[in-house]
Amino acid sequence: MGARAASLTHLLRSTPVRQALALVAVVALANLLSLGGAYLTLRADLARSIRADLDAELASFDLSATPAALSAIVRARARAADPAKTITVFLAADGRQVGNARATLEGSDIHLGPGDQPLGAAGYLHEARPLAGGLLIVAESLAPIAELRRTFLSLLAFSLGPTVLISLGVGVLIARRTARRVDGIEATLNRLSAGDLSARLPPDQAPADDLSRIGAGVNRLAARQQAATEALRQVTADIAHDLRTPLQRISVLLQDLRARLPDEGDPAELADRASAEVDRAVSVFRAMLEIAQIEGGQASARFQPFDLGLTVRQVVELYQPSVEDAGHRLSLSSPETGPTIRGEPSLIAQALANLVENALRHTPEGRRIDIAVSADPPALSVADDGPGVPDGERDKVLRRLYRLERSRTTPGHGLGLSLVAAIAGLHGARLTLEDNGPGLRVRLAFPQAEGNVTGSSDPTR
């Protein structure tokens, strides 16, 4: 029920549906105005006709008649008329009255009431004229106007109702189809924004229109962006691959040179520094190649369901001695089994290793490194209580070769978090950097895998 209500709300908020509803409202208003105008015109004509009949009726009486003669005439006409349709009443000067109804004067107002027979329920239109020393009143029922109103209400119900319903139904169908196309464009743009440059809109079967042109433009833009990105990745990989071999040869030559130099002296120190810089360059190119291979997606062919908690525990056991030797404290909170995710265990282990090494590199001695695995949703987090990363820098540290100003004097090449981001993207995981108050918390939230295994959240260390 909640999902259906949310879907209906989303549909009603869409521009095509709102346009359809506005169009239906315009059609309904136009019909209502046209029928209302026709009704008011006919009603006025009918009222004028009734008043003309009343004037003719009054004119038919003899103006020179005596009160007795006029009373006799009124009595005769009253007996022949149905008071539900026509009323004739004469009020004599002495207060007596004859006719087929009762008339009451309240100032200048005349009120008609039933006599021997009931009156009509629709009301009356009346005219009065002083005659023979008294007041002659004639009235005609407004039943024709009431019948006209009922007729127009029926016409409104049987014409406007189906028109609105049919227009609304067709409009909503068209709007839903348009809304689905708009949702498809929006979903494709969201995938492109999230980094999935392979996202494309399917071929549009509808006749060419604005949405078709927009969809084709989105596909062309995505194709150019993907081609440019792939070319950049390929150039990066080619440069890293072509330069790695010469650098390795330079490293070998420097080692050979160092072996021929005395252990002490400036030449030996210079050779050691040059060898260290070459090793650093080799590690940079190796990391760039690794990122390029991961972003290429080849590793996804080896994806399989595996126990995230088990993989994390193995990495923690491997790093526990070196972390303690460095004067830090490492803790792990994980379910006994699971959660199960789909991916490449070695890549997840490498991402965790990079996060641990990053925490070791940037936190002072004696600080904590807390690793946590959660099952719902499957997630892995690494937190420390070091200096952390400023809010404005958290997106930047995921870029390749980007380093904080305070980190430029520490070992590293600025590709550790970039490699983690590449592994997260390959696994469809959401990577977030959060404030640990103090320190930094890096969290990887993975998609839920079918048949996920969960256990109790009992810390293992």
pLDDT digits (tens, 9 = 90+) for 19-48: 777 877 887 888 888 888 988 999 999 999
Q: Which segments of 363-389 does DSSP mark as H helices, in order?
A: none
Tell me what the mean pLDDT of segment 164-178 comes to: 77
Q: What is the pLDDT of residues 103-147, one digit of tens each?
A: 888 887 888 888 888 888 888 888 988 888 888 899 999 999 999
In 298-450, DSSP assigns E strands to: 304-307, 329-333, 340-343, 368-375, 378-384, 430-435, 440-445
Going by the DSSP 8-state scheme, the letter that residue 299 receives in this structure is G
The confidence score (pLDDT) of residue 455 equals 40
- How far apart are alpha carbons 408 and 413 in whole angstroms? 9
Count how many residues are written for the chain: 461
Helix orientation angle between 143-193 and 210-260, rounded to the nearest 10 degrees = 20
The confidence score (pLDDT) of residue 457 equals 37
The confidence score (pLDDT) of residue 92 equals 87
Q: What is the pLDDT of residues 286-297, one digit of tens each?
A: 666 666 666 666
51 vs 226: which has the higher pLDDT: 51
The confidence score (pLDDT) of residue 284 equals 66
Which of 381-385, 406-410, 417-421 is least confident? 406-410
Nearest residue to 407 (alpha-carbon basis) of 369, 442, 447, 440: 440
Q: What is the pLDDT of residues 295-313, one digit of tens each?
A: 666 667 778 888 888 988 9
Bridge partners, 212 (sequence order):
none
